[in-house]
Homo-oligomer: A and B are copies of this chain.
Amino acid sequence: MVVYELSEEQANKVFRALADATRRDIVRRTLNAEVSVSEIAASYDMSFAAVQKHVAALESAGLVTKIARCRERIVRGQPDTIRHAQELLSSLEDIWRQRISRLDDFLADGDK
């Protein structure tokens, strides 16, 4: 199984993009249904331009994509990028598990 890992720079962008409640909410909405930038902007108490910037940050991180549909830009959440972030976190957890495993081996060895 080939897994396309995030580069360090991509990982920075993805986690940075996720470090904001508004952006996480935009990701949720765009994973749940097709929405335009205007529709997204209508939900938040900030300017259209501010929401546009949040969407741009998510797009740059690969967490959403935009496609033109007539006048509108439809924003789509990208589950693959979320999965990549999960895999990075899993690799951290694995490091911890391997350490525990080594510790178990050491204790077992001490018993013999």
State the A residues within 8 Å of B (CB): 8, 11-16, 18-21, 24, 27-28, 31-33, 77, 79, 82-83, 85-86, 88-90, 92-93, 95-96, 98-99
Point out the residues of chain B lying under 8 angstroms from A13, CB to CB: 19
Q: Are B12 and A19 closer than 8 Å at their CB atoms? A: yes
How many copies the complex holds: the figure is 2
The verdict on A99 contacting B33 (CB below 8 Å), with A82-B89, A93-B79 known, is yes
Could you say which residues of chain B place their CB within 8 Å of the CB of A85?
A: 89
In the complex, A90→B15 CA distance in Å? 15
Which chain B residues lie closer than 8 Å to A24 at the CB level? 11, 88, 92
Cβ of A15 and Cβ of B18 under 8 Å apart? yes
Is B19 touching A15 in the complex (CB atoms < 8 A)?
A: yes
Contacts of A93 on B, CB cut-off 8 Å? 31, 79, 82-83, 86
